[in-house]
Amino acid sequence: MTNEIVTPIFQFGTSRFLQAHAALFVHEALSAGDAVGPITVVAISGSASGRARLQGLARDEGYPVVIRGLKKGHRVEHEIRVKSIRRALDAELDWSRLTTLFAEQAEFVVSNTTEAGLTIPSDLVVNLTHARGPAPAGYPAKLLVLLAHRFAVSARPVVVLPTELVPRNGDTLKEALIALAKRSGASDALLSFIADDCVFANSLVDRIVSSAIEPVGAVAEPYALWAIEQQAGLRLPCRHPAIALVDDLDRIERLKLHILNLGHTVLAQYWMADGLRPNLTVREMLEVDGYRSLLTEIYGSEVVPGFKARGLEQEATAYVATTLERFDNPFLDHRLSDIAAGHLTKVQRRIGGFLQWVPEERRRQSPSLEKILSAVDQNADRQNVVP
């Protein structure tokens, strides 16, 4: 064991979302004596922006998260200095050190990559016996090699908590790792360690983190949720009021994905299609003539009836009201340009997924959503045509 500070939580990703969500929860839990320990944050993409944030994340004075918004009708505005991150590593540049520390210290793994970040190329193969590098490409491949090295060193299991907005994200990541491990010639013992000993939790996160503070930090709304599905062997890195253990994530996931996230993506589609100004925010767009009524009409005539057909009308109606209140937050500048990143994937999951989930007769009564899905799919097809 090294003489360095022990960080039982390894956070993969430096995004402003994680800064104002999981890392902030751990900070507040540490202050109350309700966390297992501090965090090592890992930049996984090798991007210049991710590396630039690293230096500021682990400073002794912490980094700022400003909470602004309305909570139960009252104005909330305060700053928190988050000090839960005690070490920052670059997966590409610090791979050897990362493998050593992960094998010795990791008890929990938290990640937030893009929505496509848990996928693995079907032909990818990694070397499971050379943890000293170079680092494999992509988060799942990196995690597999780290787990293989940990298994070789101690065989102590870890709890993996992906927060990517992917249905059953824990199961998805686990299945991807096992498939990659098999292609890469993993032993039966290693496969059993990943499949049976380590815990991959399905979870859902919800907090609008509207803007970054440079060089590091974030501005976020008061509302926050980290819903984690119960399973055998599950442990949590901390206790926090925003963390909820639930028996079934599906209801919560559908509400968030097909109301809040769907609403964001609907607005992003019209923002792009109508050529609105580049720095427009969600709140500002809803103040432009026509767009609020367009969104509320989609919610009222297409989305809520779809939930009603699934027996969730009351929950959906209440969540729509909460969502519109969050969209109207006067203190957040949630830019449509940020929401539009990865638009094709988001449309397919948020709108296409909703239309596949509702009964067929309801899908035929969702013309606006069908039109958006069709337009985006056709545009993607045109872009994929080889001249």
pLDDT recorded at residue 183:
96
Segment 266-281 mean pLDDT = 96
Is the Cβ–Cβ distance between 147 and 107 less than 8 Å?
Answer: no
| Average pLDDT over the chain, rounded to an integer | 92
Rounded to whole angstroms, the Cα distance separating 247 from 268 reads 33
- Placement of tokens 């090295």 in the chain: 149
pLDDT recorded at residue 387:
36
Strands 85-90 and 243-246: unpaired
Q: In the chain, how many H helices and how many E strands?
A: 18, 13
Is the Cβ–Cβ distance between 111 and 162 less than 8 Å?
Answer: yes
Measured between alpha carbons, how far apart are the two ends of the chain, in Å? 58
Is the Cβ–Cβ distance between 190 and 181 less than 8 Å?
Answer: yes
Rounded to whole angstroms, the Cα distance separating 122 from 127 reads 16
Q: Which amino acid is at 97?
A: R
* pLDDT grade for 2, boundaries at 50, 70 and 90: very low
Q: Which two tokens stand for residue 10?
A: 């390894």
- pLDDT, tens digit, 9 for 90 and up, residues 282-302: 999 999 989 999 999 999 999
Is the Cβ–Cβ distance between 26 and 238 less than 8 Å?
Answer: yes
- In this predicted structure, the answer to whether residue 100 has a pLDDT above a threshold of 80 is yes
Q: Which two tokens stand for residue 110?
A: 């938290």
Q: Which two tokens stand for residue 155?
A: 């065989």
pLDDT recorded at residue 4:
73
Q: What is the Cα Rg of the chain in Å?
A: 21
Q: How many CA atoms lie within 13 A of 371 on its CB side?
A: 10
Nearest by Cα to 200 from 225, 163, 226, 155:
163
Backbone angles phi, psi at 281, to 5 degrees: -100, 165
Q: Which two tokens stand for residue 275?
A: 């050529």
pLDDT recorded at residue 385:
41
Rounded to whole angstroms, the Cα distance separating 245 from 225 reads 11
Instruction: Show the DSSP H helices in the chain as ranges.
Output: 16-20, 22-31, 48-57, 95-105, 139-153, 169-183, 188-192, 250-255, 262-273, 282-287, 291-298, 304-309, 313-327, 336-339, 343-346, 353-357, 360-363, 367-383
Of residues 133 and 295, the one with the higher pLDDT is: 295
Q: Which two tokens stand for residue 71?
A: 């909570």
- pLDDT, tens digit, 9 for 90 and up, residues 140-173: 999 999 999 999 999 999 999 999 988 899 999 9
Rounded to whole angstroms, the Cα distance separating 84 from 323 reads 30
Mean pLDDT is lowest, of 60-74, 232-246, 273-287, for 60-74
Segment 62-84 mean pLDDT = 91
* pLDDT grade for 304, boundaries at 50, 70 and 90: very high
Please report the domains of the chain, with CATH numbers, ordered by start residue.
9-246 (3.40.50.720), 250-378 (1.10.1040.10)
Distances (CA, A) of 61 to 51, 86, 178, 219, 275: 19, 11, 40, 18, 42
Question: For residue 237, how many other CB atoms are within 10 A of its CB?
Answer: 25
Rounded to whole angstroms, the Cα distance separating 288 from 226 reads 33
The SS3 of residue 219 is strand
Is the Cβ–Cβ distance between 174 and 195 less than 8 Å?
Answer: yes
Is the Cβ–Cβ distance between 201 and 170 less than 8 Å?
Answer: yes
